[in-house]
Structure 1
Amino acid sequence: MEAVNCCLPVTEDVVWVRVEEAAESGRVRRLATNLAERLAFPPTRAAEVGLAVTEIGTNLHRHAVEGQVVLRSVRGADRAVIEVLALDRGPGIVDLDLALADGQSTTGTLGVGLGAVRRLADDFAITSRRDRGTILSARFRPERRDADDDVSASGLTRPLGGEEVCGDAYAVRTAPDRLTLMMCDGSGHGPLAATAAREAVRVFCAEPASAPEEMVARLHAALRGTRGGAVAVADLDLVRRTVRFAGLGNIAASVLADGRKRGMVSVPGVAGYQARTIRAFDHELPPGARVVLHSDGLTERWTFDPELVTLPPLLAAASLLRDAGVRRDDASVLVASS
């Protein structure tokens, strides 16, 4: 399912691969190389992407527990890049500096490939905690150059096991001193749920900017004739330091700040079918706060973790999905910095 950033690149989670057998490393490499070719990467750069992904997959197989690789395409107006995300529940890396040195391998880490992956990638980020696991992201542009992306919000979607498409989707609109987030969890799963979620993204991006409760009402009207779903919109005012939130259905939303997780309230209903009332609520947005939206593919029982306000948004989203995700449903999570 596409995760759309209005005015920023469009991100698509192309495939999730669980790396438990040695053969999966080769599969991940082939998928990554094919993606690079589809995005018109030069052959040399496509080979570098394949090498980096091979290192990631091989070391997940050798050292990690429940290792997974996510391949993502990030398409802008004039270029497309590849983003690789790896996450596991393994023993973690005791000494990241040592592990990132080329040629180093320590039992219980991702191993010798980390230094090579960081060197080949244009952007690289990693977090690892003992007995909890490791998460890394690596971004590859067609032509090598220094990082130039300021990513203030990032998310992740994962389909229900056995499904090829995710019925959840999110989008982000940007304006000076403002971020507006939208998430839709299409009812059920599979192609019909994905169709509803895509329609919510289309309308959110096409309609003029409006208050969250007005946008939710528009989404409710737009989803008539589809399977419908849960929708939510959060508007972050970075000057007034407030977030206005409106939700219809079971999209969970929280503000993370001052060592606490503060929930934001959605009202009962199903967009496209039933909405007795649509209300918005205002919340404080302290400096440095994070705003998190997620579908019911994640349990709401997760608690505040200081890393969630310091990690890059994508790694924070991946951490939440790994630790709070449930396997019986589509899942999506969106994290925004403020």
Structure 2
Amino acid sequence: MSGGTVASLPEGLLDGGVWFRVEAAGTASAVRRAAERLATELAMPEKRINDLSIVAAEAAGNLVKHAEQGTILVRVVRTVEQAGVELIAVDSGPGMADVERALGDGHSTAGTLGIGLGAILRQASRWDLYSMPGKGTVLAMQVWPSGAPERSWASGLTRPLTGETVSGDAYAVREIEGRRQVLVCDGLGHGGLAAAASHEAVRAFHKASAVPPAMLVEVLHRALGHTRGAALAVAELDLAAGLVRYAGLGNIAGTVFGPDGGRRGMVSMPGIAGHQRRQIREYDYPLAPGAVVLMHTDGVVDRWNAAEYPGLFARSPEVIAATVLRDAGTRRDDAGVLVARS
């Protein structure tokens, strides 16, 4: 998740986390150790590290026993006051027809005791889940050192191109002087230089003053002049006015999904931030109560159909983003998704 309080990752912590492909018990152990190491680095209390260890072991174990193409993202989540660890488990099947029954201790589809999900729910500070038969399950879990903070109104995920260790895609979230603003960027190409461009965009985004999206994109364009450049877009959710204000350069897709099922695409201008642009323009779009703003890089295909996912937009931003990334993300490019709720 990255005057006024900035509800996002502090400058310098730009790592989008580490993805693990979970197919064997050995990988499940690696997930647990990675989560414990993060928590130790964050100086979390020993009891919460132990709780996190249980959550990580059960989540990874469930993927080994039950899932197809299971992966887990392990990353830090922060507020101004504290830092915790988040795990997002994603699989492509079989999915659950009766989520409520599956959440109860004693239910199992693999002849085991069926206590895994129950243990996760008891030890995690917060969790959210979306599952559909035939498509799979996304389970997001957070463990905080003390009480869980208020749910974030926006979150996202990035995943590197297959074979790369870093992603050239990035996102950021901030609240500054009453403005709720989000950034999605895609560094030109892939690998370390693409990641450096996106990280510079995130750094400049957090440092910039409270200005409208078009002015903010101009600031980012100037900041990226010494990098290879990036496609990027900024959206501002003005809840009082019922509007999304949007400005972008390059191939970042933005869509407003209304509570009635309608969708409205948002317009970015041609160009590469840091290198070439014609004119930066800002557009306003209606934002009804309950609407969702979804932005993604070109590593995610636009053919994703929200109508095939009943109830998804009632879930948390991280679960929505992970579901879209799973089903619409390509492995041939870096991929990034951000979701913001009204």
In the superposition, the TM-score normalised over structure 1's length comes to: 0.93
Matched residue, 1:313: 317
Mapped to 1, the partners of 2:137 and 2:219 lie a distance apart of 40
User: Residue 249 of structure 1 corresponds to which residue in structure 2?
Assistant: 250
Q: What runs of 5+ residues in structure 1 fail to find an aligned partner?
A: none
Deviating more after overlay: 8-17 vs 92-101: 8-17
Cα deviation for residue 76 of structure 1 reads 3.0
SS at 2:16 equivalent: strand
Asked if residue 124 in structure 1 is aligned to residue 123 in structure 2, the reply is no
Contact 2:247 2:280 in 1 (8 A): yes
Rounded Cα–Cα distance in structure 1 between residues aligned with 2:205 and 2:168: 16
SS of match in other structure, 1:244: strand
Measured after TM superposition, the shift of residue 78 of structure 1 is 3.4
Amino acid at match of 2:44: F
Select which of 331, 334, 338 maps to 2:335.
331
Aligned match of 2:201: 200
**What residue in structure 1 maps to residue 137 of structure 2?**
134
Residues 1:178 and 1:110: Cα distance change in structure 2 (over 3 Å): farther
Q: For the residues of structure 2 that align with 1:200 and 1:260, how far apart are their CA atoms?
A: 31
Q: Which residue of 2 aligns with 1:189?
A: 190
Aligned ranges for residues 78-117 of structure 1 at < 5 Å? Answer: 78-107=81-110, 111-117=114-120
Moved more, 123-132 or 42-51: 42-51
Task: Please state how far the C-alpha of 1:47 moved relative to its aligned partner.
Answer: 2.2
> What is aligned with 1:55?
58
Report the more deviating stretch, 294-303 or 157-166: 157-166
| Aligned equivalent of 1:266 | 268
Structure 2 partner of 1:8: 7
- Which deviates more from structure 2 when the two are superposed, residues 300-309 or residues 104-113? 104-113
Instruction: Output aligned runs, 1:35-50, within 5 Å.
Output: 35-50=38-53
Give the 4+ runs in structure 1 shifted more than 6 A.
none
Superposition CA RMSD, Å: 2.0
Give the Å deviation of 1:107: 4.1
Equivalent in the alignment of 1:67: 70
- TM-score of the aligned structures, taking structure 2 as reference length: 0.92
Residue type at the aligned position of 1:60: L
Counterpart contact for 2:256–2:291, Cα < 8 Å: yes
User: Deviation per CA, 1:288-327, whole angstroms, max 9, x where unpaired?
Assistant: 1111111111011112234342111111111110111000
Secondary structure of the 2:276 match is coil
Gapped regions of structure 2 (runs ≥ 5): none
**Which residue type is aligned with residue 19 of structure 2?**
W
Amino acid at match of 2:250: G
Tell me how far apart the structure 2 counterparts of residues 109 and 18 of structure 1 sit (CA, whole Å). Answer: 22
CA distance in structure 1 between the partners assigned to 2:111 and 2:298 by the alignment: 32
The 8 Å contact of residues 63 and 108 in structure 1, kept in 2 or not, is answered as: no
Provide the rounded CA distance (Å) in 1 between the counterparts of 2:136 and 2:156.
Answer: 19
What amino acid is aligned across from residue 56 of structure 1 in structure 2? A
Instruction: Say if 1:64 and 1:88, in contact at 8 Å, map to a contact too.
Output: yes
Identify if the C-alpha distance between structure 1 residues 243 and 86 changes in structure 2 by more than 3 Å, giving closer, same or farther: same
Give the structure 2 partner of residue 159 of structure 1: 160
The aligned residue for residue 287 of structure 2 is 285
Cα deviation digits, residues 200-231 of structure 1 (max 9, x gap)? 11111111121211111111111111010101
Aligned-partner SS, 1:55? helix
Distance 1:205 1:9, change over 3 A: closer
Instruction: Please tell me whether the aligned partners of residues 244 and 283 of structure 1 are also in contact (alpha carbons under 8 angstroms).
Output: yes
* Displacement after TM superposition at 1:175 (Å): 4.5
Aligned residues of 1:267 and 1:278 also touching (Cα < 8 A): yes
Matched residue type, 1:303: N
8 Å Cα contact 1:64/1:109 also seen in 2: no
Q: CA deviation at 1:142?
A: 2.1
Q: Aligned equivalents of 1:6 and 1:326: distance in 2?
A: 35
Task: Summarize deviations over 1:178-203 as a string: whole Å, max 9, x none.
Answer: 42111111111111111111111111
Contact persistence 2:85–2:142 (CA under 8 A) = yes
Percentage of pairs with the same residue: 49
Secondary structure class of the residue paired with 2:89:
strand
Cα deviation for residue 163 of structure 1 reads 1.8
